[in-house]
Each structure stands twice: as structure tokens, then as C-alpha cells.
């Protein structure tokens, strides 16, 4: 046995935490880290949020799991609330983002199958996308580093370059079922699809009888300052996957669809053992209680401005370290001049946790509940780290 009993699939930091409070993580020895990674956009309400702790512990004392053989009142309620607050008419609950995407892909293929067009099975996806690590979702994402050695690649995904409208049009054939896109690419490096292009995608789907599938696993549930990122573009998808933020740290995902798009998803065609279990539903409902409170999303937008102003000043001061700020709401990215892994490490040395992304970006994904003081402290730490890196570069 080499190292530990665990698969060596994660290059973990030599750092373990004992507990968390809001935007802070604390080690067993009491060292405090400001958590602007938030479990990769998962801890949407920070750590140990009292309302979430109460919801989970209350449910844990009553009932954990019954399976989808029976009615689950919390599931019905969370489904209805998601429907009321989105484009959707129907919801399927999962345990993860990748499973929500699998359901979205199956929903799209099934739609054309029951409408007498079974040849329509292909899905157009965008380069740099990330949709998960199952066999179908690595094929959908199309990133070589995730596909290598796992062949044969699942058939039916056609990738086009980010932001390339002509390539998108050219990729649509008689076999196309859907377009799948993240309104804001997360792992791809916080790349926002321009509003005009999202509108074009919607129109292309309408004109060609295709379904528009959005992956809001990372950018959804308040992260952009609206409940869902698509609201900024004034369009609506036919199918959407969410996960990460909706569980606030409890494993929970969902596939949302219109009645029309979900026509093929009839009794017995899809299923899950754990998806939608009472614990996850209690937490999901508690997350919505907070995110849907009047004013909560306005606060996310205000805090976003505060962060962007602070970050822009750092870009001005240290252009040889960080060249630009990207993103919206509290899904922000620093486009780095130095390797993003080095910048990420320099932040960690200031006890600030962030996440590297594609396109040489460091992602800033604070809890949506981060306070103004948390944000000021993050900005101070980013400036200190940038100064250290700029000095080291000058010495080199």
C-alpha cells in the first residue's frame, strides 16, 4: 500500500479542518482560514449556518431514508418551491451534479424518442465545459485530461469553441437533440456566456426543435445574484441541472424541466435510491428559506460590487501578478499572469482558501453569506499575497 488507503485521485493540500463558522474554517490546533472556496461553491450559506443545522438535526431525529417507493413530503415541497421560482414544471432529485446532468441528458434524448425522432440523440456542448466525472458527463465536457484512458468515449456529444456562434450553427444536424451549456463556466475559468449568445442558443433551439439544457450546478442558486443565472439573459431553458449550492454542503442535486421536455420521463424509465431522501430535502428546503428571503439576492449583488472594486484596485497595483477580474455575483475569477497554482498557494499562505480553474484563473467562490468584513479581509490577504509574488518576481 502506498501513502494512504485512499485512491490517489486527489492532490490534496496537507490541511485538515475541525469545524467551521460562517466563512471561516478552523483546524484542530485553532488556526483560522478564510474560506473563499466554499467547498467549490457548495457551502452557499457558509459553515454551521444555524438554520441548516437545525433543519438537518431535526430531520435526523425523525426519519433518514424511506426510498422513492413512498411519498416524501419534503421532496414534494422542495419540488414545488423550485418550480414556483423557476421556468420548470417538473423536478427530479439526485445526490450530485453529475447525476443531475445524466438525468438532463436522458430527458433530452427521451423527449425526441417519444416524439418519433429517435435519431435526435446528439448534444452540442462547449469547449472548456465541465459537467461531471461519469462516463457520459466526461464525454459531454470533452476535456482530454478527463477522458484519457476511459475509452470508448460515450457517443453523442459534439463540441464547439466557447463563444463561436458560427461553429454552434454548423454543429447542428438532423441528429441533434439539444444544446448543453453553463451560463457561467465554473471550472473552465469563470467564463460568462454573453447574453446575446445565450439568446441565440435559445433561438437556434426553437428554430430547430432542439432542447436548451443549462448546467447551473456551479452558477445557480443565488451565486450570480439572481436565483438562477439564466435570469440575467432574459431567456428560459427547457431543462436545467443544479446541485452544489442547493444542498449547502449536504449532497443534493436536481434536474428541472418543463412539462413538454419531461414528456418522455414516465414511470419506470429513470430512478435513484438515495436521490431526494428526507435529510437532503430538509436541508434543501432550509437553503431556499434563506436564499428566497426578500433582499438576500440584492445583498449578493452588493457584496459582488464590493469584491470587484477591491480586486480591480489589486489588478491596477500588481498587473504582473493578476491581469483581470471576471465573473458576476459571487462567482468571480482572477485571470493570473503567474501560474494560477502558484497564486492559489500564495493565497493559502495568507490563510485564504480559493480554487484554481481553467484558463489560468483562480476562482473566488465565497459563501453567499460572507460579511463585508470577511470580504475586506479577503481583499487584504489577496493584496498581501500579490505583493509577495510581485517581490519574488522582481528578485528573479
Residues of the shown chain interacting with ligand PLP in the complex, contacts defined by CB under 6 A: 96-98, 101, 130-132, 182, 186-187, 215, 217-218, 243-244
d(CA 5, CA 193): 41
SS3 199: helix
**Is 143 one of the annotated binding-site residues?**
no
Identify the CA nearest to 379 among candidates 321, 301, 306, 318.
306
Residue 347 beta carbon to ligand PLP: minimum distance, rounded to whole angstroms = 20
**Is 216 one of the annotated binding-site residues?**
yes
Q: What is the DSSP letter of 277?
A: -
Residues 6+ apart with CB under 8 A from 82: 88, 91, 254, 256, 288
Residue 101 beta carbon to ligand PLP: minimum distance, rounded to whole angstroms = 6
**Is 273 one of the annotated binding-site residues?**
yes
Cβ proximity to ligand PLP: between 291 and 389 the closer is 291
Cβ proximity to ligand PLP: between 20 and 186 the closer is 186
Residue 297 beta carbon to ligand PLP: minimum distance, rounded to whole angstroms = 20
**Is 97 one of the annotated binding-site residues?**
yes
125's torsion region: left (phi>0), alpha (psi -120 to 50) or beta? beta
Cβ proximity to ligand PLP: between 158 and 215 the closer is 215
Cβ proximity to ligand PLP: between 94 and 258 the closer is 94
Output the residue with the shortest Cβ distance to ligand PLP: 97
In the numeric block, which cell numbers belong to residue 185?
Answer: 463556466
Cβ proximity to ligand PLP: between 44 and 350 the closer is 44
The dihedral over CA atoms of 292, 298, 304, 305, expressed in degrees to the nearest 10, equals 180
Residue 265 beta carbon to ligand PLP: minimum distance, rounded to whole angstroms = 20
Q: What is the DSSP letter of 150?
A: S
Q: What is the DSSP letter of 166?
A: H
Cβ proximity to ligand PLP: between 20 and 188 the closer is 188
- Which helix H or strand E contains 26, and what residues bound it? strand 24-26
Cβ proximity to ligand PLP: between 249 and 386 the closer is 249
In the numeric block, which cell numbers belong to residue 159?
Answer: 463540441
242, β-bridge pairs: 254
**Is 272 one of the annotated binding-site residues?**
yes
Residue 362 beta carbon to ligand PLP: minimum distance, rounded to whole angstroms = 16
Residue 384 beta carbon to ligand PLP: minimum distance, rounded to whole angstroms = 29
Q: Give start and end residues of each alpha helix (H) in 252-371.
A: 278-291, 296-317, 340-349
Q: What crossing angle do the helices spanning 73-84 and 278-291 adopt, rounded to 10°?
A: 30
Residue 12 beta carbon to ligand PLP: minimum distance, rounded to whole angstroms = 16
The dihedral over CA atoms of 346, 341, 327, 196, expressed in degrees to the nearest 10, equals 160
Q: Which residue has the cell 468515449?
A: 153
Give the residue ranges of the annotated binding site: 97-98, 130, 133, 215-218, 272-273
Give the residue ranges of the annotated binding site for N(2)-acetyl-L-ornithine: 133, 272
Give the residue ranges of the annotated binding site for pyridoxal 5'-phosphate: 97-98, 130, 215-218, 273
Amino acid at each position: 500500500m502506498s501513502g494512504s488507503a485512499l485512491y490517489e485521485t486527489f492532490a490534496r493540500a496537507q490541511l485538515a479542518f475541525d469545524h467551521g463558522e460562517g466563512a471561516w474554517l478552523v483546524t484542530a490546533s485553532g488556526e483560522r482560514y478564510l474560506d473563499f472556496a466554499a467547498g467549490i461553491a457548495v457551502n452557499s450559506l457558509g459553515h454551521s449556518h444555524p438554520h441548516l443545522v437545525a433543519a438537518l438535526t431535526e430531520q435526523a431525529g425523525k426519519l433518514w431514508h424511506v426510498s422513492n417507493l413512498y411519498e416524501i413530503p419534503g421532496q414534494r415541497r422542495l419540488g414545488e418551491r423550485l418550480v414556483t421560482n423557476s421556468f420548470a414544471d417538473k423536478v427530479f432529485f439526485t445526490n450530485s451534479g453529475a447525476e443531475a446532468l445524466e438525468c438532463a441528458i436522458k430527458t433530452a434524448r427521451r423527449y425526441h424518442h417519444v416524439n418519433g425522432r429517435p435519431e435526435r440523440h446528439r448534444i452540442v456542448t462547449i469547449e472548456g465545459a465541465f459537467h461531471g466525472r461519469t462516463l457520459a458527463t466526461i464525454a459531454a465536457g470533452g476535456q482530454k485530461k478527463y477522458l484519457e484512458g476511459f475509452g470508448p468515449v460515450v457517443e453523442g456529444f459534439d463540441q464547439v469553441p466557447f463563444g463561436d456562434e458560427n461553429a454552434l450553427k454548423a454543429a447542428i444536424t438532423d441528429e441533434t437533440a439539444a444544446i448543453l451549456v453553463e451560463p457561467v463556466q465554473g471550472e473552465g475559468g469563470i467564463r460568462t456566456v454573453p447574453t446575446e449568445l445565450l439568446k441565440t442558443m435559445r433561438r437556434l433551439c426553437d428554430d430547430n426543435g432542439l432542447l436548451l439544457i443549462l448546467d447551473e450546478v456551479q452558477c445557480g442558486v443565488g451565486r450570480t445574484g439572481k436565483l438562477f443565472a439564466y435570469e440575467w439573459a432574459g431567456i428560459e431553458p427547457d431543462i436545467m441541472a443544479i446541485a452544489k449550492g442547493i444542498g449547502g454542503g449536504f449532497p443534493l442535486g436536481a434536474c428541472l424541466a418543463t412539462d413538454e421536455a419531461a414528456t418522455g420521463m414516465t414511470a419506470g424509465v429513470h430512478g435513484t435510491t438515495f436521490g431526494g431522501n428526507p435529510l437532503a430535502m430538509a436541508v434543501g428546503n432550509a437553503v431556499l428559506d434563506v436564499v428566497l428571503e426578500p433582499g438576500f439576492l440584492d445583498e449578493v449583488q452588493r457584496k459582488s460590487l464590493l469584491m470587484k472594486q477591491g480586486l480591480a484596485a489589486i489588478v491596477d497595483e500588481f498587473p504582473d501578478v493578476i491581469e483581470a477580474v471576471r465573473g458576476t455575483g459571487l462567482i468571480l475569477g482572477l485571470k493570473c499572469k503567474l501560474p494560477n497554482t502558484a497564486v492559489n498557494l500564495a493565497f493559502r499562505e495568507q490563510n485564504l482558501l480559493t480554487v484554481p480553474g481553467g484558463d489560468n484563473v483562480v476562482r473566488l467562490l465565497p459563501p453567499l453569506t460572507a460579511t463585508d468584513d470577511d470580504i475586506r479581509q479577503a481583499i487584504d490577504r489577496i493584496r498581501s499575497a500579490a505583493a509577495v509574488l510581485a517581490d519574488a518576481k522582481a528578485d528573479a
